Every structure is written in structure tokens, then in C-alpha cells.
Amino acid sequence: MDELVLLPTPQRVETLGGAYTGGFTVDDDAVRVGHEVFNKREGYVLTLRDNAVSVEAADGAGAYYAKQTLTQLKRLATWGVALPNVRVTDWPDLAHRGVMVDISRDKVPTMATLRQTVDLLASLKVNQLQLYTEHTFTYAAHEVVWQNASPMTAEQVRELDAYCAERFIELVPNQNCFGHFERWLKHPAYADLAETPDGFVDAWGQHRPAGTLSPLDARSIALVDGLLSEILPCFKSNRVNVGCDETFELGQGHSATACAERGVGRVYLEYLNKVIGCAKRFGRAAQYWGDVVLEHPGLVSELPSDAVALLWGYEADHPFDEQAQRFAEAGVPFYVCPGTSGWNSFVGRTPNMRNNIARATKGACEHGAAGLLITDWGDHGHWQPLPVSWAGYAWGAAMSWARGANGALNLARALDLHVYRDRAGVMGRHTLELGGAYRLCGKPIHNAAWPARLMYEPVVDLPHDVTACTMRNAAEAVEAAIAALPRARMERNDAELIQKEWQLAADLFMHGCKIGVARCDANRAPIAALAANVRQSLSRALGELITQHETIWRQRNREGGLIDSAGRLRKLQQMYAAG
């Protein structure tokens, strides 16, 4: 039984004695579906005995998930694992188990990549997918916003929606409706809708461009209503994620007087209710990010009971338990939303990801969450390749399906078997090792790894615990781990591409380490003060990485957004040249 690694691990596996010697085809007459045979939603009983397979399922989804488990068992047998006669009794802990993919910073996947992602998620028993959208949909009257972004079209959304439905995945529309409107408000046609048209100074003293709609301007809600009226008919889902997170400048511009009189939280809630009302008008139940309301805890009890709060946080110690309890006690339905920890890291932050998701699922299961949504962001250019996210997808799917059964999951082995399909058993262990290298750089930082931060924020000061020695140690760990990957024997059509993607991720990480070493060796000087030969060497190396980034980007993603993503790297290269 030690080798019977399934992803997710089922709720209960019983050996029946003897060895299973039959095939893996399930005839229609061997499948019984209905609550009278199994009464747990999406659950199933899969029995392998001697030379026969049978399935009892609560519903169509349960029968589908039984077949996913059967596919994994067949893979084990093909790879030489001796299977016992076995009965798998399985059902999900959480009704809604989702993944959200960022398609707005700056990476919009091709349809082939989206279908591949859906296939992976379906095999992991994920039943909800969201594509985080700010500007990447072809809104008819707003071409100036999306014209260079290679956006999703209505036809493509409908096609993907149908593809998901066939695999028991609900494609949930996702359109931010309050904050994160930078891509809109930078255009003259929309600039006067901004809370602060001339931008604002954030909590860290940095000037930032306008990103939040003015909540008191009737045209803001009219714009949102128009967007929803166009995008929602492309989806069969009766839900919509309206975003409304990180409204940083609220109260600093047009709404300053109202916020001073009624409070920032009150003004926010009034606008949120208007957006929820728009969703209702189109027959959709709204989901919204819960971060702003959590800053005004007195308003939690006033939140609508027919909309779902999305409680997000991406660090290992995020207080999901406390937040979940607060919303549960107020009778407000909620999801917990941890992350893959892939963004701002190049190679991932695997230990952080695992603890973040484990903590989230604990809060979800103990306080009655409606679901869990694994978020996969693309901050600062979406530099991380897609495979960096797969461990987070897999761990989140496992823990949201059966938290108790999967806490001790051998994730490396599970990734080898059911994600990478690597007969050599290399990819799982070494990708997790790559995702742990950030800890060697110094004290971990919020929502990032030091090598990535040194590249997207080149002027950042280095703390004393980040040294030339720690950066060299991290780079050496990544170099050692990536050196093992060519030994993999992946049975996938994109095996060669996966190798290249991980090599790029490792090379970017090691380049960030080189910056750290150079600055530490120069008494923590800024890049401009480094010796000319050091800057020239860094510039040449980065030029090669930019070319590699552009080439690999085009293998899974559309052209739109690449100029912005690569442009961030070119700005760093210009800093090397400027001196």
C-alpha cells in the first residue's frame, strides 16, 4: 500500500485481499449512479476485485471522479506497481474546489494551454476555474483598453466553458469591478472615472497611478453594469467574481469628504452592494474579495448573506482560522483563498505554499467554508513559467478534497506519477527542492523571494541577513536541483518544453542571486554604483534571459502582454547600462 499514491489521496482505501489482475475498462452496466447508492455529493465507491471494476456514484460528477481515480490506478499498474484488490470510498470535504488563474498580469494563455490546464485540474478533482480579468476580454465598446492584450473573445469563453462543463468544472466569470482598474484609467476616455485621476501615494510612500474607480460617480457603476451585461452571457455559471479588492486610494480623492463623514468602510460597502446588485440583475450570485471589509470588522455583520466573501492571504501564517470564524459567526458565506506562491519567486516558495494551503483548508473545514480557491497570480510581469504553479494546484486540490487523508501525502511522488508522469522519479522531488531555495537567501520576505524582488524592485535596500554568502548558497542549491532534471523521463508531449521552462525559472532566480552577491560585495551599494565590468556582465546575462523568456512565453501564451513583461526586464538591463 505504500506505493499506492493517488492524487488526491481518497478518503478511505480498503484492501480486499489478493492481487488485482484484471483490466481497467468500466462498462456502463458496471456503473450505478444515484443518491440511493451513495449519498455524498460528488462521491463514489470504486471497487477493483480480481478481474472486474465497478463504480457506485452519487451523481455524474462522482462517476467522473471515480474514472479519474481509475486512470491513476491504471498508471500505477503500467509503471509496475502491484495492485491489491481494493475498494476506494471517496467524497470531497469542500463542495467548491477552485483554481483562479491570473490572465491580466500580463500573460493570457492560448486556448491549447487553457484546455491542458482544465484537463489537469479535472484529473485532480477540481470543480471550479476562474480567469482573473481586469482588461483581457473583448468588450465591444472598449477596444482601446484591450487592443494590445490578446484578450479572450466571447466565442473563446463559450468554447472553454463547454470544455470545462464536460469535465465537471464550473467556469466562473471573474471581472474586477472597483480596484485594479489601472489598465482602464490610464486612457483619457476613462481617466475622470478615477478616485484619484492624478494617482496617489501609497502606504510605502511610493507614487502610483490611479487604479480605483470613484465609488460616488454614477458612471462607475454604469461602466461595471455594462461590462457584466456583456461578459456574463458567455458563461453558464450562476456565479460571478466581482473582485473589489485593494482599493488603496479610496478616500484620498473624489470620495474624501464622504469617507470622512461616513467612514471609508461604509463608502466601500455602499459601492460593493451596488456591484452585487448588478450581478443579481443578471441572475448571478456575487463573489468578492474580503480584504477591504476585514479592515473594517464592524461591517462584517452587514454583508449580504447571498454573496460570497473570498478571504485571501498568501503567507504561511495567514490567520485564516480567525477570519473564517468571524465570517461564519456573522452568517456570511465565504471561501478561503490561499495561493500557489509561484509569483514573485521564479521557482516558487514551496514550503510557504504548503503551509499556506494547509492553514486555509483547516479554517475552511472547521468553520464551514463554502469552498476553497487556489489563486495563481502574475504580479510584476508574470515571469514564472506555468509548471511552477502545478505543485500548488495539486496540493490545493488534495487538501480541499480530503484534508485528513492528504496531510501526509508524498507530494513529490504524487507529482511524478500524476502531473509530470516522470518514470525516473526526478521532477517531483527536485521541483520541490527548487521551490525551497528562497529560504537560503535570508529571512523570508512577504509575498516574494529575494532574487525576484531584486529584479522587479532594483532599488530595494538589502537587510543585513541577506549576504553574498546566503545568495551564493541559494544559487548553488538551485543549480544543483536543476542539474538533475535532464534525467527525468516524462511521458508527456510537452516534456522538452517543461525542461526549458524550469531551466529559465532557475536561470532567472540565479540572476537575481548574482545581483544580491554583487551588491553585497560592494557594501550593499545600489546597482548604479557597481563596477562597470560587473554591470556589463549582468547586462549580457540578462539579455540572454530576455530572449529565452520571450521564446518560452510564446510556447504556451498569446503575444499580448509579452512586451510589458519583457519590458520590465529591459528596464533592469537599462539600469545596468546607465551606471
How do residues 482-541 score in pLDDT, each as one tens digit? 999 999 999 999 999 999 999 999 999 999 999 999 999 999 999 999 999 999 999 999
Mean per-residue pLDDT, 343-372: 98
Identify the helix (H) or strand (E) that includes residue 90.
strand 84-90
pLDDT of residue 457 exceeding 80? yes
Distance in angstroms (rounded) separating the CA atoms of residues 352 and 342 = 10
Give 221-244 pLDDT, tens digit per residue. Answer: 999 999 999 999 999 999 999 999
Q: What angle do CA 53, 3, 88 make, to 5 degrees?
A: 35
Mean per-residue pLDDT, 460-472: 97
Distance in angstroms (rounded) separating the CA atoms of residues 91 and 508 = 41
pLDDT band at 109 (very low <50, low <70, confident <90, very high): very high
Quote the radius of gyration of the chain (alpha carbons, Å).
24
Q: Does the model's pTM come out above 0.85?
A: yes
pLDDT band at 185 (very low <50, low <70, confident <90, very high): very high
Grid coordinates representing 63 are 462517476
Q: Are 238 and 306 in contact (CB under 8 A)?
A: no
* pLDDT recorded at residue 264: 98
Domains annotated on the chain, with CATH? 12-90 (3.30.379.10), 96-409 (3.20.20.80), 427-578 (no CATH)
Only one residue has cell 468588450, namely: 139
* pLDDT recorded at residue 125: 98
pLDDT band at 1 (very low <50, low <70, confident <90, very high): very low
The beta-strand segments (E) located in 453-492 are none
Q: Are 397 and 124 in contact (CB under 8 A)?
A: yes
Q: What angle do CA 284, 289, 290 make, to 5 degrees?
A: 120
Backbone angles phi, psi at 289, to 5 degrees: -70, 140
Mean per-residue pLDDT, 51-69: 95
Q: Are 205 and 248 in contact (CB under 8 A)?
A: no
Backbone angles phi, psi at 556, to 5 degrees: -125, -10
Distance in angstroms (rounded) separating the CA atoms of residues 268 and 290 = 11
Distance in angstroms (rounded) separating the CA atoms of residues 518 and 451 = 12
Short-list 136, 134, 93, 95, CA closest to 114: 136
* pLDDT recorded at residue 445: 96
Q: Can you name the residues that pair with 89 across neighbouring β-strands? A: 12, 45
pLDDT of residue 2 exceeding 60? no
Short-list 513, 516, 569, CA closest to 539: 569
Mean pLDDT over each residue of the chain, to the nearest integer: 96
Q: Indicate the SS3 state at residue 408.
A: coil
* pLDDT recorded at residue 579: 67
Distance in angstroms (rounded) separating the CA atoms of residues 338 and 118 = 19
Distance in angstroms (rounded) separating the CA atoms of residues 474 and 477 = 5
Short-list 321, 30, 288, CA closest to 180: 288
Give 20-38 pLDDT, tens digit per residue. Answer: 999 898 887 789 998 877 8
* Share above pLDDT 90 across residues of the chain, in percent, rounded to a whole number: 95
pLDDT band at 115 (very low <50, low <70, confident <90, very high): very high
Short-list 240, 244, 222, 236, CA closest to 286: 240
Spacing of C-alpha 327 from chain mean position: 23
Grid coordinates representing 48 are 477493483
- Name the region of 310 (left: φ>0; alpha: ψ -120 to 50; beta: rest): beta
Only one residue has cell 478518503, namely: 11
* pLDDT recorded at residue 63: 96
